[in-house]
Structure 1
Amino acid sequence: MDATMENKMGLPPPYEPTAPAPVPPPSYFGDNPPPPAGFVAPVAPPRTTVITNQPTNPRPVKLGPGPTGTTCPTCNKSIVTRVDYVPNNRTHIVSAALCVLAGCCCGCFVPYCMRSCKTANHYCPACKAFVGNYQPS
């Protein structure tokens, strides 16, 4: 079979030989020659790492639905928490139930105005750290 017959059959052209690999540069060390055979590099003394744990609160803090007096776990100050009320799944479910039962959308906004249907997130007023939350039952 010749080359024209191979092209008519849809075969790829024959491969050409590849070029040889390039020659490496004369020196990998540049201006710095390798160290002598008996040379031992000085070893740095081992480092000591000290790991300390932050003090943990041995008993969990009972947080209520309103501002609560406690000790901040971040700054260790005695504080009265700042509370932000955010809607949760219960708020959305009660709102949907009121919308279905009432037959209109007028009553579905009521749970979003009630603190008893929301989660109370407690924050430290001094360092603004999150202290905990209260889930209504």
Structure 2
Amino acid sequence: MSNNQDKTAIIIQPEEKGDPIFQEWPVHTECPHCGSSILTSLEYEAGTLTWIMCFFLMFIGLFLGCCFIPFCLDGCKDIAHICPNCKKEVGRYYRM
């Protein structure tokens, strides 16, 4: 008489703590400057995409102030992730 039983192995892998991926939303991470566990705050800053859009709008004829519209839109700006405790930059998301 043989005892044939199905055996299932469950493998649990520990979570790896890697660098967070900085994108368009706040990130839970540990601040490398003050060591606190934080949710980053976002600051929008003009970057490469902002300037390219400005020159593109100027090129198509919107040079009477309308070419500066990308500087008013957060969707065209780079994003700096800031620690709310020590106010230092933790990471950055570049649109281009």
Q: TM-score, normalised by structure 1?
A: 0.52
Q: Is 1:65–1:136's contact at 8 Å kept on the other side of the alignment? A: no
1:95 pairs, out of 54, 63, 79, with 54
The answer to whether structure 1 residue 114 and structure 2 residue 58 are counterparts is no
Q: What RMSD, in angstroms, separates the aligned Cα atoms of the two structures?
A: 1.7
- Offset, 1:103: 4.4
- Offset, 1:88: 1.1
Q: Is 1:69–1:78's contact at 8 Å kept on the other side of the alignment? A: yes
2:88 pairs, out of 129, 133, 137, with 129
The answer to whether structure 1 residue 74 and structure 2 residue 33 are counterparts is yes
- List per-residue Cα deviations over 1:48-95 (Å, max 9, x = no partner): xxxxxxxxxx62211122322222122222111121111112211110
Note the residue ranges of structure 2 that are not aligned, 5 or more in a row.
1-16
Q: Is 2:53–2:70's contact at 8 Å kept on the other side of the alignment? A: yes
Q: Is 2:42–2:81's contact at 8 Å kept on the other side of the alignment? A: yes
Q: Percent identity?
A: 32
Aligned to 1:52: none
Note the residue ranges of structure 1 that are not aligned, 5 or more in a row.
1-57
- The residue identity in structure 1 corresponding to 2:20 is V
Structure-to-structure mapping, 1:53-72, within 5 angstroms:
59-72=18-31
Q: Is 1:66–1:120's contact at 8 Å kept on the other side of the alignment? A: no
Which 4+ stretches in 1 moved above 3 angstroms? none
Which is greater in Rg?
1
In 1, the alpha carbon distance for the partners of 2:61 and 2:42 equals: 32
Task: Report how many aligned residue pairs link the two structures.
Answer: 80
In 2, the alpha carbon distance for the partners of 1:134 and 1:117 equals: 12
Q: TM-score, normalised by structure 2?
A: 0.71
**As a proportion of its length, which structure holds more strand?**
2
